[in-house]
């Protein structure tokens, strides 16, 4: 008499149920963190950012992957028990939160456009459009955009150090004598990463397709290098662009600058300190001025010790970036702060910052703009993006798309007014 084969039980063990509940709880907390950062004080802001940033900007991708995984686990039987069904309900709640995040991001375009209209006039879009009409249209936003605009011969060395390299973004059919406007892109990374790839791809592909030349640079980073090596390299890159960009069809008299995070700090500082001898060793006579600046979620204050995240930030500066104590070297920190370098003859500025930035609180952007507006004779535009995290323009998301469009219009407006 043969043995009766036991029926295979569905996967509904206690261990599987616990795993499903923990996973679902993590998913819903991650989605909630994308809706609004779960921490705003101290070092906890770092994991809050690194979890909430890609989730918030790539919400449809995250939700889609979660749905497919839930289908796989459902077929396997992970949701057959009461605990499993509770886990599925939590997972579905995370999809709802992610859907809300994406909807909210899609509705944020007025936050980019209205400040431009208020600062530059109701006809700013028409002026920018007229300037753009001279160049072909089209927008590319994906992460592979670089290969469409940067060839092997477009990777150049702009200075004596190994990391002094840059990518020259431009259309293959751009006339070499066309005098195209130029944008220098300064990467972020807490002055300790400085990777030029793949930062600002939505913006640079948008501009390159419309006839701009974008120079995406790398620079010396900490802790291997101490301040002011970073700003010296930015100045050196500006000097190289001034002296060489005509060979690529660029206009050396029409150089703008942008950057995010640490790059936003360096961008603003470079724009406010043209031809500063102490930061141009060996090339003091080269003009490093720019026609306008677009710092995005930057640091503008290196000296204030009070406020959200300020003590931690000053500690990092003293230990890893400047590597000199604030006590006894206060002037060095003041000189490195764009908010102390505001001036009447500052070029036009377009400053962008996310309202929910957990790395650099939005107060820094507000205070810098207020100080610059108080003295500058040129337009100062400020876009504060509701619910946006740090690095909101990194992906080809709605925020990345709107940033590229708004910055492009601002740059075109400045160029049109100059010409």
Residues designated as active site: 261, 357, 390
Kind and range of the H or E element at 126?
helix 124-132
φ, ψ dihedrals at 216, nearest 5°: -100, 110
Tokens read off for 262? 């640490």
Residue 412 CA to residue 418 CA, distance in Å, equals 10
SS3 state of residue 381: strand
Task: Give the residue ranges of DSSP H helices in 216-298.
Answer: 229-244, 262-272
State the residue for tokens 């995040």: 101
Give the residue from 211, 232, 212, 213 showing the smallest Cα distance to 221. Answer: 232
Decide: residue 15, CB within 10 A, 0-12 exposed, 13-18 middle, 19+ buried. exposed
Residue 335 CA to residue 356 CA, distance in Å, equals 28
Which DSSP state fits 213?
E
State the residue for tokens 């677009």: 294
SS3 state of residue 68: helix
Q: Is the dihedral of CA 246, 251, 254, 260 positive or negative?
A: negative
SS3 state of residue 215: strand
CA terminus-to-terminus distance, the chain: 98
Residue 274 CA to residue 238 CA, distance in Å, equals 10
Please say whether the beta carbons of 55 and 34 come within 8 A.
yes
Tokens read off for 381? 């535009």
Residue 275 CA to residue 284 CA, distance in Å, equals 7
Give the residue from 251, 241, 353 showing the smallest Cα distance to 286. Answer: 241
Question: Strands 165-169 and 213-217: what pairing?
Answer: antiparallel
Please say whether the beta carbons of 385 and 365 come within 8 A.
no
In terms of residues, how long is the chain? 419
Which DSSP state fits 245?
G
Residue 337 CA to residue 361 CA, distance in Å, equals 16
């Amino acid at each position: 008499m043969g043995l009766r084969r036991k029926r295979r039980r569905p996967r509904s063990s206690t261990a599987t149920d616990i795993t499903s509940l923990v996973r679902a709880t993590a998913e819903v907390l991650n989605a909630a963190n994308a809706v609004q950062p779960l921490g705003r004080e101290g070092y906890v802001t770092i994991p809050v950012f690194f979890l909430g940033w890609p989730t918030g900007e790539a919400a449809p991708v995250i939700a889609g992957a979660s749905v497919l995984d839930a289908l796989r686990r459902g077929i396997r039987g992970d949701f057959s028990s009461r605990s499993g069904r509770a886990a599925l309900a939590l997972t579905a709640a995370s999809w709802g939160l992610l859907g809300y995040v994406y909807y909210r991001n899609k509705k944020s375009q007025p936050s980019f456009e209205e400040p431009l209209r208020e600062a530059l006039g109701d006809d700013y879009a028409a002026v920018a459009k007229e300037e753009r009409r001279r160049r072909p249209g089209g927008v590319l936003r994906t992460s592979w955009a670089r290969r469409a605009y940067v060839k092997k011969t477009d990777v150049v060395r702009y200075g004596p150090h190994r990391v002094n390299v840059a990518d020259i973004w431009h259309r293959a059919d751009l006339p070499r004598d066309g005098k195209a406007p130029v944008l220098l892109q300064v990467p972020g990374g807490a002055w300790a990463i400085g990777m030029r790839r793949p930062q600002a791809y939505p913006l640079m592909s948008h501009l390159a397709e419309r006839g701009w030349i974008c120079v995406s640079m790398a620079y010396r980073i900490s802790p291997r290098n101490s301040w002011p090596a970073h700003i010296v390299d930015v100045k050196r890159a500006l000097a190289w662009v001034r002296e060489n960009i005509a060979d690529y069809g660029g206009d050396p008299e029409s150089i703008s600058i942008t950057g995010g995070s640490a790059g936003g700090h360096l961008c603003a500082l470079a724009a406010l300190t043209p031809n500063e001898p102490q930061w141009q060793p060996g090339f003091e006579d080269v003009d490093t001025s720019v026609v306008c600046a677009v710092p995005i979620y930057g640091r503008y204050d290196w000296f204030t010790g009070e406020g959200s995240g300020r003590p931690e930030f000053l500690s990092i500066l003293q230990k890893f970036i400047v590597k000199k104590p604030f006590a006894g070297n206060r002037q060095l920190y003041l000189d490195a702060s764009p908010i102390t370098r505001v001036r009447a003859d500052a070029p036009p500025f377009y400053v962008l910052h996310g309202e929910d930035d957990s790395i650099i609180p939005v107060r820094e952007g507000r205070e810098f703009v207020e100080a610059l507006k108080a003295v500058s004779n040129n337009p100062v535009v400020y876009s504060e993006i509701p619910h946006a995290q740090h690095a909101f323009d990194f992906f080809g998301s709605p925020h990345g798309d709107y940033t590229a469009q708004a910055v492009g219009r601002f740059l075109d407006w400045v160029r049109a007014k100059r010409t």
